Amino acid sequence: MKALDNFKADFENTLQLSKGLIKEIRSKAFEKFISEKFPTRRDEYWKYSDPSSILKLDLNYNDSGDFKDDNYDIILSNGRIVKTLSKFKTGNISDGLDNGDVPKEIFKEEKNPFLNLNNAFAVNGCYLILDSKTKKDVKILNVINNNSDCQAVYPKLIIIAKKNSDSTVFEEVKVVGEGINFVNSVVDIILEDGANLEHIILDDYAKDTYSISNICVKQSKDSNFRSHNFSMGKKLARRDYNIELLGTGANCDLYGLYFVDGENHIDHHTTVEHKKEHCTSNEHYKGILSGKSVGVFNGRIHVHPKAQKTDAIQNNQNLLLTDDAIIHTKPELEIYADDVKCTHGATIGQLDEKALFYLRTRGLNQKEAQRLLMRAYVGEIIDNISNGEIRTRMMNIVLDRLPKGD
Partner 1 sequence: MLKITNLHASVEGNSILKGINLEVKAGETHAIMGPNGSGKSTLAQVLAGHDDYEVDQGEVSYLGKDLLELDVDERACEGIFLAFQYPVELPGVNNTYFLKSALNAQRKYRGETEIDAMEFMDLIGDKIKLLNLKDSLLKRPVNEGFSGGEKKRNEIFQMAVLEPKLALLDETDSGLDIDALRIVAGGVNAMRSKDNATIIVTHYQRLLNYIVPDYVHVLVDGKIISSGDKALALELEEKGYDKIIEESKA
Neighbour count for residue 25 (Cβ, 10 Å): 21
Q: Which stretch binds partner 1 (CB under 8 A): 160-168, 272-280, 330-338, 375-383?
A: 375-383
Which residue from 55, 348, 372, 397 is in contact with partner 1, where contact means CB under 8 A?
Answer: 372
Which residues are registered as beta bridge partners of 203? 173, 231
Q: Positive or negative, the Cα torsion across 394, 399, 401, 403?
A: positive
Interface with partner 1, residue 359, by CB under 8 A: yes
- Whose Cβ is closer to partner 1: residue 263's or residue 380's? 380
Q: Give me the DSSP letters along 46-84.
A: GTTS-THHHHTS--EE--------TT-SEEEETTEEEE-
> Rounded to whole angstroms, how far apart are CA atoms 399 and 397?
6
- Whose Cβ is closer to partner 1: residue 177's or residue 379's? 379
Interface with partner 1, residue 133, by CB under 8 A: no
- Whose Cβ is closer to partner 1: residue 137's or residue 380's? 380
Interface with partner 1, residue 368, by CB under 8 A: yes
CB 308 within 8 A of CB 341: no
Interface with partner 1, residue 351, by CB under 8 A: no
Residue 142 falls in which region: left (phi positive, over 0), alpha (psi -120 to 50) or beta: beta
CB of 366 to partner 1, least distance (A): 7
CB 231 within 8 A of CB 205: no
- Where b means 16+ CB within 10 Å and e means fewer, 148-181 reads bebbbbbbbbbbbbbeebbbbbbbbbbbeeeebb
- Whose Cβ is closer to partner 1: residue 43's or residue 368's? 368
Q: Which stretch binds partner 1 (CB under 8 A): 27-35, 207-215, 353-361, 398-406?
A: 353-361
Which residue from 343, 350, 365, 386 is in contact with partner 1, where contact means CB under 8 A?
Answer: 365
The CA-CA-CA angle for residues 356, 232, 401, to 5°, reads: 50
Interface with partner 1, residue 348, by CB under 8 A: no
Rounded to the nearest 10°, the torsion over CA 253, 383, 197, 280 is -20
Size of the site for partner 1 (CB under 8 A): 22
CB 155 within 8 A of CB 76: yes
Q: Which stretch binds partner 1 (CB under 8 A): 82-90, 92-100, 306-314, 367-375?
A: 367-375
Which residues are registered as beta bridge partners of 215? 187, 241
Interface characters, 378-397, with partner 1 (x: CB under 8 A)? -xx-----------------
Q: Which stretch binds partner 1 (CB under 8 A): 26-34, 193-201, 237-245, 349-357?
A: 349-357
CB of 281 to partner 1, least distance (A): 23
Question: Rg (Cα) of the chain, in Å, rounded?
Answer: 21
Interface with partner 1, residue 402, by CB under 8 A: no
Interface with partner 1, residue 350, by CB under 8 A: no
- Whose Cβ is closer to partner 1: residue 13's or residue 365's? 365
Residues that bind partner 1 (CB under 8 A): 352, 354-355, 357-366, 368-369, 372-373, 375-377, 379-380
